[in-house]
């Protein structure tokens, strides 16, 4: 039985019609990968496997390098998140000065999540160490405030709010901290002097959009707080006789206490000058910004709504800050120094 069935199958093969493949072969896909090769081993380059994990300081410096040099937004954000966790736990092997020098340019980073995480990191830094670097901080904040991107400008205002929380006195009294910052606010809100009609403002007419109105409210609120810090910074010192005695007759403990004299530095103009007391800041504000701000506040009050209320708050801050100030016709001591 077995041999007969086998013979039948062999005879049937003679009568089967072969099927031949004709035409072109099917085209291979564009992402086709030829895997027909054979290899005895696969070698991975630049591999460094160790049993022990790197030290925390090494990881910290590596994350700091990624935060400042990586082209990936996700990598920069994750690196900043790691740095925030380490600084919050009291671990900062490079110091606040190095950290600020590396990360301050990220205030104008194009990625929103990166800027948000950067502000979280800044708020974890010790305030007494940030105060010594207020001049450098406000310089990068001003660059962000005048950026063409509205989102970057708004986040720079958040950085300014952080500076007002930790180092408001140092910020308004450092070189350029008063006049240059006020100029940045004027440029941000469109309060500029025009050569044709003497005045120009950002809103040309009509009501602002919802998003623009929210930004304007925030700008006016932070400007009011900045003016309060600059024009009324010494109110508490005048009320405390011991503090006034210390400031007059004791050697100050602040770093570079005589920097305002500029004995060995380059010659400064009015914008880059240090205004260490509220009276000098009131004087330069009255001379350069009083008319400009009064017109800007009047135009903002005409908008009504939240913008108008914020403008009224700013107006009250101006009145309180300039209360008791009397413009003097005497020669400004700074003008005498310039002539000398």
The pLDDT profile of the chain, 340 residues, written as one tens digit per residue, is: 557 888 888 888 777 777 777 777 788 888 888 887 777 776 666 666 666 667 888 999 999 999 999 999 999 999 999 999 999 999 999 999 999 999 999 999 999 999 999 999 999 999 999 999 999 999 999 999 999 999 999 999 999 999 999 999 999 999 889 999 999 999 998 887 543 344 444 444 445 566 788 889 999 999 999 999 999 855 444 445 555 555 556 666 555 565 555 555 555 567 888 888 888 899 999 998 999 999 999 999 988 889 999 999 999 999 998 887 777 654 455 544 444 4
Backbone angles phi, psi at 61, to 5 degrees: -65, -35
- pTM, two decimals, is 0.72
Q: Are the C-beta atoms of residues 166 and 131 closer than 8 Å to each other?
A: yes
Q: Which residues contact 82 (CB under 8 A, 6 or more apart)?
A: 59, 63
d(CA 183, CA 143): 12
Half-sphere exposure of 221 (CA within 13 A, CB side): 13
Alpha helices in the chain (DSSP H): 2-14, 56-69, 73-88, 96-103, 112-122, 127-130, 134-145, 150-173, 179-189, 210-231, 235-239, 241-249, 278-288, 290-303, 305-321, 333-339
User: Tokens in use for 153?
Assistant: 């400008």
Question: pLDDT at position 10, please?
Answer: 82
Question: pLDDT at position 17, please?
Answer: 78
Question: pLDDT at position 204, please?
Answer: 41
């Amino acid at each position: 039985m077995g041999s007969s069935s086998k013979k039948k199958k062999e005879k049937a093969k003679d009568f089967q019609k072969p099927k031949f493949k004709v035409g072109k072969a099917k085209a291979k896909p564009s992402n086709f990968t030829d895997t027909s090769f054979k290899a005895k081993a696969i070698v991975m380059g630049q591999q460094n496997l160790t049993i022990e994990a790197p030290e925390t300081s090494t990881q910290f410096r590596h994350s700091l390098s990624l935060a400042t040099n990586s082209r990936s937004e996700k990598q920069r954000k994750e690196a900043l998140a790691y740095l925030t966790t380490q600084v919050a736990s009291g671990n900062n092997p490079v110091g606040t000065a190095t950290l600020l020098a590396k990360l301050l340019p990220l205030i104008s980073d194009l990625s929103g999540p990166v800027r948000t995480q950067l502000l979280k990191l800044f708020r974890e830094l010790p305030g007494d160490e940030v105060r010594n670097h207020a001049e450098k901080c406000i310089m990068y904040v001003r660059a962000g405030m005048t950026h063409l991107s509205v989102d970057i400008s708004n986040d720079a205002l958040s950085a300014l709010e952080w500076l007002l929380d930790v180092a408001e006195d140092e910020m308004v009294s450092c070189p350029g901290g008063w006049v240059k910052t006020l100029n940045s606010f004027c440029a941000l809100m469109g309060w500029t002097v025009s050569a044709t009609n003497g005045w120009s403002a950002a809103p040309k007419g009509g009501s602002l959009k919802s998003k623009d109105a929210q930004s304007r409210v925030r700008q006016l609120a932070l400007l009011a707080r900045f003016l309060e810090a600059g024009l009324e910074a010494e109110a508490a010192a005048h009320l405390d006789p011991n503090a006034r005695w210390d400031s007059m007759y004791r050697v100050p403990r602040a770093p570079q206490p005589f920097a305002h004299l500029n004995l060995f530095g380059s010659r400064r103009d009015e914008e880059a000058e240090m205004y260490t007391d509220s009276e000098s800041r009131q004087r330069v504000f009255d001379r350069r910004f009083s008319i400009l701000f009064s017109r800007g506040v009047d135009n903002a009050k005409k908008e009504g709504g939240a913008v108008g209320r914020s403008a009224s708050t700013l107006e009250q801050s101006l009145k309180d800050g300039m209360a008791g100030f009397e413009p003097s016709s005497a020669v400004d001591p700074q003008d005498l120094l310039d002539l000398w």
